[in-house]
Amino acid sequence: MFSECPHPRPHPRPHGHINGIGKELASILYAANAKVYLATRSNAKTTAVISEIRKAHPHSSGELIHLPLNLDDLSTIKASTEQFLAAEDRLDVLWNNAAVMVLPQGSTSVQGYELQYGVNCLGHFLLTSLLHPVLVKTAKEDLQQRGNSVRVIWVSSSVADQVPKPAIDFANMDYQSPDEGIWTKYARSKAGNVLQAVEYGRQAGKDGIISLTLNPGNFLTGLQRTMPKWQVALFKLVAQDPRNGAYTELFAGLDESITQKDNGGWVSPYGKLEPVREDLRDPALGRQFWKWCEEQVQPFL
């Protein structure tokens, strides 16, 4: 998969907690001599992970670069993208990989959004919107060579399949009337990622960009840090090696069998294209959620 790549290519990848799948993904890419931007909140933790990956692959000619990114504060994201764009003039694959999950009730982002909507949906939406021009530029450059190589990957979850209908309740985005359970809130945010992937594929496909969403699988990562201990214990019984989740993300981001016909598609573990749940492919719902996201991030563009 990597041997045909003639030179290190930028692979910026937002990731809130650089462990688990994100760490494995970065390690595999770096071992294949890729240039990888790790966009995270924690400088100290990311620096330690970068050092660990470099030691594991001493002969790599790739690069690992930390890009500060705080997805729960929309006012800070533009500065992160400006820092990236000051250093790079192309972007091959954007993995929207960061997430928060099943947080204490009442958790909100800096701007006051329910935190899972704020980070999982709005943070990634703003980041992708700000990076869209460089994605388009890169896709045009690559069209002459092979095409289908520039991609945006919206990491969702299996819980998106269990979200109640309608998947997005536009009359209750702040969960004030009525409130909902923490797992339902998480499922709605992950369904939001599916809607974003499908709609972005509709819009950006004409520019040569492929947009996919995926379920990486079940893994014990930093996402479970807020879960009760008994739930974590149960989760360990079904959790798999995070490296397998990285394989799912690598397939979505790099596999050459994926073409424009797959745009807006769903990738299941560990590299299988499947149909998106029917209501999450509804163009009207996708456009409505996209418009809502646009309205929320407009002041921060």
pLDDT in tens, 4-52: 233 334 454 434 446 688 899 999 999 999 999 999 988 899 999 999 9
DSSP state of 2: -
Res 300 pLDDT > 70: yes
What is the predicted pLDDT for the residue at 118? 98
Rounded CA separation 245/264 (Å)? 20
- Decide: 212 and 197 in contact? Cβ < 8 Å: yes
Q: Which of 129, 149, 156, 157 is catalytic?
A: 156
Q: List, for residues 77-120, the tens digit of each pLDDT value.
A: 999 999 999 999 999 999 999 889 888 899 999 999 999 999 99
Q: Compare 161 and 221 and report the one with higher pLDDT.
A: 161
What is the predicted pLDDT for the residue at 5? 33
Task: Give the pLDDT band of residue 296 (cuts 50, 70, 90).
Answer: very high
Q: What percent of the chain has a predicted confidence (pLDDT) above 70?
A: 86
Is 156 a residue of the active site? yes
Res 221 pLDDT > 80: no
**Mean pLDDT for the chain?**
89
The full set of domains in the chain, from first to last, is 13-300 (3.40.50.720)
Is 200 a residue of the active site? no
Q: Which of 23, 35, 185, 190 is catalytic?
A: 190
- Decide: 185 and 196 in contact? Cβ < 8 Å: no
Q: Which of 30, 186, 200, 247 is catalytic?
A: 186
Q: What percent of the chain has a predicted confidence (pLDDT) above 90?
A: 74
Rounded CA separation 106/202 (Å)? 34
Gyration radius (Cα) of the chain, Å:
18
Task: Give the pLDDT band of residue 219 (cuts 50, 70, 90).
Answer: low
Average pLDDT of the residues in 184-201: 98
What is the predicted pLDDT for the residue at 180? 94
Q: Compare 194 and 21 and report the one with higher pLDDT.
A: 194
Smallest CA-to-CA distance from 1 within 222, 230, 229, 256 is with: 256
Rounded CA separation 90/140 (Å)? 11
Lowest mean pLDDT among 2-11, 38-47, 121-130, 257-266: 2-11
Phi/psi at 38 (5° precision): -100, 105
Task: Give the pLDDT band of residue 3 (cuts 50, 70, 90).
Answer: very low
Is 190 a residue of the active site? yes
Task: Give the pLDDT band of residue 230 (cuts 50, 70, 90).
Answer: low
What is the predicted pLDDT for the residue at 42? 80
- Decide: 191 and 168 in contact? Cβ < 8 Å: yes
Q: What is the model's pTM?
A: 0.90
Residue 208, CA atoms < 13 Å, CB-side half-sphere: 20
Residue 3, CA atoms < 13 Å, CB-side half-sphere: 0
